[in-house]
């Protein structure tokens, strides 16, 4: 069992992938030693064109570097909130040059969005591995949202920082659309943002908004896990009543 930083909510464990801490993986690496995507010339074919094998290796290297940066940002936010995600500190923890970090993520908000996207990726993996089995659309949606709650509450400081940053963000983020898409997929048996009606998209988005509000209340110590589950069940029953079983 796990208790949130507010000390009020006990969350059941869930089978999720734990995020590695890159700060432990790259000790002593020089901050200026790593190269960014624009710096990574590879020897290869004529006229300086990289050979296919070298190009593939470079792509993998860039992917691994980006992943390490996101993991470093998440590790810092989980300990000190978004304020701890200083770009220079993230670069040092990830073992990359500051210029490289800015080439991947031009702003701190870009980093926040990337960390949130990784959390949603974990949730999607969980759903693919173990699809919701409830008989009703509302039941399946509640399953997804409570899995998301358990996943985020593994690191309540990180959850609080991410949710607050997304709410206050002055730029568009994919968080709402991705959550609405997940809810449509499980509630409407394969519905997508493209195939659902405007009303269905709005209802799924509204349920996602209810969940975000309840999650914040839980982080503030005003709700228990059981209380927010009950509230989300009530909201899902009403909002998804017309989706059909």
The pLDDT, as a whole number, for residue 20 is: 55
| Model confidence at 64: pLDDT above 60 | yes
Q: Of 65, 89, 106, which marks where a domain is finished? A: 106
- Here the tokens at position 132 are 């919701």
Percentage of the chain modeled with pLDDT above 90: 47
Residues 124 and 228 in one domain: yes
| Model confidence at 201: pLDDT above 60 | yes
Task: Provide the domain count of the chain.
Answer: 2
- The residue segments making up the domain with residue 198 are 109-243
Q: Kindly write down the DSSP assignment for every residue of 108-173, as one continuous string.
A: HHHHHHHHHHHHHHHHHHHHHHS----SSHHHHHHHHHHHHHHHHTTSHHHHHHHHHHHHH-SS--
| Model confidence at 5: pLDDT above 70 | no
> Which CATH number fits the domain that encloses residue 224?
1.10.357.10
Question: Does residue 29 lie in a domain region?
Answer: no
């Amino acid at each position: 069992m796990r208790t949130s930083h507010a000390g009020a909510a006990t969350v059941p464990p869930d089978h999720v992938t734990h995020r590695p801490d890159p700060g432990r993986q790259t000790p002593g690496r020089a901050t200026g030693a790593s190269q960014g995507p624009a710096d990574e010339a590879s020897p290869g074919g004529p006229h300086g064109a990289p050979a296919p094998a070298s190009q593939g290796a470079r792509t993998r290297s860039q992917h691994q570097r980006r992943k390490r940066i996101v993991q470093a940002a998440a590790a810092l936010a989980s300990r000190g909130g978004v304020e701890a995600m200083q770009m220079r500190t993230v670069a040092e923890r990830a073992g990359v040059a500051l210029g490289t970090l800015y080439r991947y993520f031009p702003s701190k908000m870009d980093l926040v969005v990337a960390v949130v996207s990784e959390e949603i990726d974990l949730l999607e993996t969980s759903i693919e591995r173990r699809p919701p089995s409830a008989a009703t659309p509302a039941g399946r949606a509640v399953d997804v949202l409570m899995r998301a709650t358990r996943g985020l509450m593994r690191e309540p400081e990180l959850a609080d920082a991410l949710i607050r940053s997304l709410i206050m963000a002055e730029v568009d983020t994919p968080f709402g659309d991705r959550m609405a898409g997940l809810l449509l997929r499980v509630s409407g048996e394969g519905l997508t943002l493209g195939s659902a009606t405007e009303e269905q998209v709005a209802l799924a988005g509204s349920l996602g908004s209810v969940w975000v509000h309840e999650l914040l209340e839980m982080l503030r110590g005003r709700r228990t896990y059981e209380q927010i589950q009950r509230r989300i069940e009530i909201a899902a029953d009403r909002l998804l009543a017309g989706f059909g079983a």
